[in-house]
A and B are shown apart, each in its own frame.
Chain A
Amino acid sequence: MTPLEYLAAVLVIGGTFFGLVATVGLLRLPGLYARLHAASKSDTLGSVLAVAGGAVVLGVGTESLKLGFLLVFLLLTSPTAAHAIARSGQEQGVEPAGNVDAPWIDEEEGDA
């Protein structure tokens, strides 16, 4: 194996690890918002690392350029999607788990 392949392997293993963390987090964390942390952060980094590993193996060229685009779009869209879910949860009045003061809960009572 060349050093580059080692690097790629490390990246892909790292990606897999964070993918695993995302899954465990999604299962273990309480409530919608906490779970979204796992779904947005770990999942993004997991995919980004795996894609970067692929780009390293492919070397400089059209294919890795496409993977580069994929990286940028992943970094842009994952947090946006998480935000969309969180926001709709908030609009539906979903309460965060744990001992948490959520401003939107009081607001709704105030408005009613």
Chain B
Amino acid sequence: MEADRERDVLVPVGRSETLRRTVTYAVEHANEAAVEAGETATIHFVYPARWRSFDIGRGDADAAESLLERAIIWGREDLDELLAEDTPETVTFESAIVGTNEYIFGPSDFADVIGRYADANGLEQIVVDPSFRPGGNAPLLRSFEAELAALGFDVLEAPVTRQTRRRLPLTDIGFAEFSVIFTASILFYFALGGWHVTDPYELVTGVATASVVTLTLAGVSLKGGVPGVRAVATTLLRFGAYTPILLWEIAKANVALAYVVLHPRLPIDPRVVEFDAAVWGDMPVMTLANSITLTPGTLTVDVSRQQFVVHALIPDAEDDLMEGTLERLVRFVFYGRESARIPSPLERRDDGTDRDGEGSGPKPGGENGGPAKEDA
């Protein structure tokens, strides 16, 4: 019985309008298989997390847990309807949250995390919800389903009808996303034209360009969801505070580089530094990578998930990097003040907390309280 897990089904769970029906489908499917084999089947509801086990986004974790609980309740309801009274249960339920300790980004990362859970539990069948698009559905990337299938799993798409969300005809772009990106593009067009665009020809070309931009890029830039106005406003405000610091760092970087370059003996000390940054999510990682490149003596070579490979040119650069000032600032911009307290890369390394260390939470109170003040 242990080895025979063919009937078991994994269902990736995330916020989507058709989750309810996906659960029903998975239950029907598992029940059928269980009746056929005369043994019970198990459904695993798995939530791929986009946050990390540090103490940020506790709200996200709570939301994920309540979603998983709801999925199990729904599953039980469906099972009760399927089974006649007084028959033993054919399907059991389990739930899990995976991927909390790493930075997962594209559909392939999500598939990877889900796949590891499936392998660990010997599962082969995965029922996917067609409206659940972890990692967005950028036109250039293979979809989550295709990635799972490529990993060798038996992928079943739940037959759900998608009507709840308004989509533009022939595209995969929701109405809200379209409006946001379209408005931004047309405002940009007007700004370039000096706001007084009255010529009908220019108006028409403006609308045409904005539409093309929206149709090609909406799926990439918003990842299938429109963020809340307040969240965007706070992030922008914090970014406004970050910009002068970044500009100052850039100025320092350039003076240091000019000194090195123009010095007759060329006093460089090139080396490659690897570290795991405690930032996660595409925008924060992008910001940190670009900031590293622009600041003293360091150049981002490669980023995979949360691991940064950085080329450092001048002797002090590595120490600056390990002190984690920039990292802390980027965290402040995207997650607020408390997150700035996570220990610096150096302290994390000394603690021996590598990224495989499950459940290694933040050490309380890193040596520096204020996120923006200290400047090595």
Contacts and interface: CB of A to CB of B under 8 A. Distances in A.
Do A and B bind? yes
Interface of A: 17-18, 21, 24-25, 28-31, 33-34, 36-38, 40-42, 44-45, 62, 65-66, 69, 75-76, 78-80, 82-83, 86-87, 89-90, 96-98, 100-104
B279 interface: no
A90 B302 contact: yes
> Do most interface residues of chain A lie in helix, strand or loop, or is the interface mixed?
helix
Contact of B272 (A29, A41, A42, A103): A103
A42 B291 CA distance: 14
Given A83-B293, A90-B309, A28 B261 contact: yes
Contacts of A25: 257, 261
Given A76-B290, A102-B272, A83 B301 contact: yes
A45 B299 contact: no
Contact of A100 (B261, B270, B303): B270
**3 nearest A-B pairs in the assembled complex, by CB-CB distance:** A79-B293, A62-B194, A25-B261
B294 A41 contact: yes
B: contact size bracket: 35 or more
Contact of A41 (B195, B250, B262, B266): B250
B253 interface: yes
B52 to A, nearest CB: 23
Interface of B: 188, 191-195, 250-251, 253-254, 257-258, 261-262, 266, 268-272, 274, 289-291, 293-294, 297, 299-303, 309, 311, 313
Contacts of A103: 272, 274, 309
A31 B261 contact: no
A31 B299 CA distance: 13
Contacts of A101: 271-272
Contacts of B193: 62
Contacts of A66: 192
Given A21-B262, A65-B191, A86-B299, A41 B257 contact: yes
B261 A33 contact: no
- Which residue, A28, A41, A96, has most C-beta atoms of chain B within 10 A? A41
A33 B271 CA distance: 10
B299 A97 contact: no
Contacts of A97: 270
B312 to A, nearest CB: 9
Nearest to B272: A102
